[in-house]
Amino acid sequence: MNKRRLGLLTGTHAVNDLYQGLVPALLPFMVLERGYSYTAAAGLMLAATGLSSVVQPLFGLYADRHPRSWLVPTGFLVAALGVVLAGVSQSYLLTWIAIALCGLGIAAYHPPATVAARAAGGASQKAMSVFSVGGTIGASFAPVLAATVVGGGSLSRSYLLGLPALAMGVVWVVANAGGQRASVAAAAAARQAASHLLKPHNDWRAFGVLVATIVGWSIPYVTVLSMLSLRITRDLHGTAFQGAAALTAFTAFGAVGTLLGGWLGDRIGRMGTIRAGYLFALPAMAGLVLAPNAAWALACTALLGMCMFLPFAAQVTLAQDYLPRNPATASGITLGLALSVGGLVSPLFGMLSDARGLGVTLTTVLCVLCVATGLALRLRNRTVPVVPMVPVEEEAATA
């Protein structure tokens, strides 16, 4: 494991997902200061998430055919530029275009960065979990940063939101400085391309089952995230604080589950980790559906967040091993398109909630999670040797 490289990539992931989290964090300020309607705000979210999820597999295809390390810093810098322009733009059209630009930057970052993190971590599942949690940490700071910089009707100060990306860009340049290093990296990319034909074939059928499994994971995740507070406050007569605490617990224990899943993956294997995550998530989700009070729902929510994220890192590496000739494409589809399905179908569950209530909706997504668990049990392991990330200094010395 190249810990130095992995640490650098984890830092870039935190910065990149900071801007992913800043988009929804800035929307309330835009609604208040610019008078946007809820429909207009939803349109901005569609520009950020919908476009990003669709084009992310395309960036994965490009990264597989033309490995370019500069896509990593370019991705989070473009995302930062989009957020800054959205904050200072006055017209809705320009704001929408800027938010779409942010989504493109986020989409460009994830496929090559995930492949680089896998190479830096070698065969370790824990390494991928650390990289994944870096993004969670970055996104968790977004609301605080947005409130600090633009709170009180100060969207004109949005240019300050670009400072984290600029700082990380400097760190990236310093860490990868030197013409010799650039030539070594180019030579390594050329060798990787030359060895392409030596890699095992892509198992698209198994990959399709994995994508369907992740889609079945995405729908309950997004639905719980969007309706959890309402479930606690309206149905279970909890306080607003308990509703907010449940959301925080769901996210925080999700990060814990990601790290725990990486640790377990290195010890019991990734297939055991994936199956355990889905199987343990079922009773946790059922407990949330049948919860008699807010305290019980809060406990089940924390357990659900941890269990649902146990398979996260293992699923990413398994996707890359199913498509060893297109690992960036595998990352783009699993982290982009498949995970976004939950958001795309969320309006349908909103209508179901209006018609039948939140209890019926949560019962429905429990059934979806049952289907995803059945698919997860059908998954089979596939191990493909990982090309280790050779430290640049060592490779330069042998060049």
Asked if residue 334 lies in contact with residue 217, where contact means CB atoms within 8 angstroms, the answer is no
Domain 3-198 shares a fold with domain 204-378: yes
The torsion of the CA quartet 204, 208, 210, 215, rounded to 10 degrees, works out to: 150
Is-contact 16 79, C-beta < 8 A?
A: yes
Cα 287–chain centre separation:
26
The domain segmentation of the chain, as residue ranges, is: 3-198, 204-378
- Identify which has the larger pLDDT, 138 or 366: 366
CA-wise closest residue to 138 among 25, 40, 50 = 25
**Stronger pLDDT, 277 or 389, i.e. the higher one:** 277
Please name the amino acid found at residue 13.
H
Q: Which CATH architecture has domain 204-378?
A: Up-down Bundle (1.20)
Mean pLDDT, all residues of the chain: 83
DSSP 57-80: HHHHHHHHHS--TTHHHHHHHHHH
pLDDT tens, residue by residue, 4-42: 888 999 999 999 989 988 888 888 888 888 888 877 877
Close Cβ partners of 97 (under 8 Å, ≥ 6 residues apart): none
* Alpha carbon distances (Å) from 164 to 11, 18, 28, 116, 141: 11, 9, 22, 21, 12
Residue with token string 């059922």: 286
Residues 6+ apart with CB under 8 A from 388: 2, 119, 122
Dihedral over alpha carbons 24, 25, 29, 31 (to 10 degrees): 20
Q: Would you call 353 helix, strand, or coil by DSSP?
A: helix
Rg over alpha carbons for the chain, rounded to the nearest Å, is: 21
In the predicted structure, residue 198 carries a pLDDT above the cut 70: no
What's this model's pTM, rounded to 2 decimal places? 0.76
Question: Above 50 in pLDDT, residue 393?
Answer: no
Counts for the chain of helices (H) and strands (E), in that order: 18, 0
Give the pLDDT mean for 178-184.
46
Percent of the chain at pLDDT above 70? 89
Tokens of 155: 């969207």
The residue that leads in pLDDT, 172 or 390, is 172
Q: Which tokens is 275 given?
A: 């199956």
Residue 100: name the closest of 42, 52, 59 by CA: 52
Q: Residue 1's pLDDT is what? A: 67
CB 255 within 8 A of CB 310: no
Write the class of the CATH domain 3-198. mainly alpha
